[in-house]
Amino acid sequence: MYAIVEIAGQQFKVEKDQKIFVHRLAEKEGANVTFDKVLLTDDGKKVTIGTPTVTGAAVKAKVLSHMRGDKVLVFKKKRRKGYQKLNGHRQDLSQIEIEEISLNGKTSAKK
């Protein structure tokens, strides 16, 4: 069973017991989070597509840790003009673990 869910403005394909990195969430480490913007679900037999979301579906997750991503270097240059600019950026991330995918009160039983 899997679901496509919108978390912090991005869409992720998630399954039970999967660990993913998302943009920093406001919740503390160890807190449980529920995401209601489920766009698609597939339980192996039936695919449900939301308009725009699947009613009654939810994804429950646990925040494992907060961290910062790898540094990304942004280099700008205009040739023959003597212009060079180097910027660095590190994104704030949260690691979450998907605990449960529920459809209208039914939960995902398979691992």
Residue 16 lies in a domain: yes
Q: Which domain holds residue 62?
A: 2-105
pLDDT for 71: 97
Tell me: the pLDDT tens digits for 39-87? 999 988 999 998 899 999 999 999 999 999 999 999 999 999 999 999 9
Instruction: Compute the distance between CA of residue 91 and CA of residue 110 in angstroms, rounded to an integer.
Output: 34
> Is the distance from CB of 72 to CB of 79 less than 8 angstroms?
no
> Is the distance from CB of 75 to CB of 101 less than 8 angstroms?
no
pLDDT for 106: 65
> How many structural domains compose the chain?
1
Element (H, E) at 29: none
What residues pair up with 65 in beta bridges, in sequence order? Answer: 95
| Sign of the dihedral defined by the CA atoms of residues 93, 95, 101, 102, in that order | negative
Residue 110 lies in a domain: no
Residue 111 lies in a domain: no
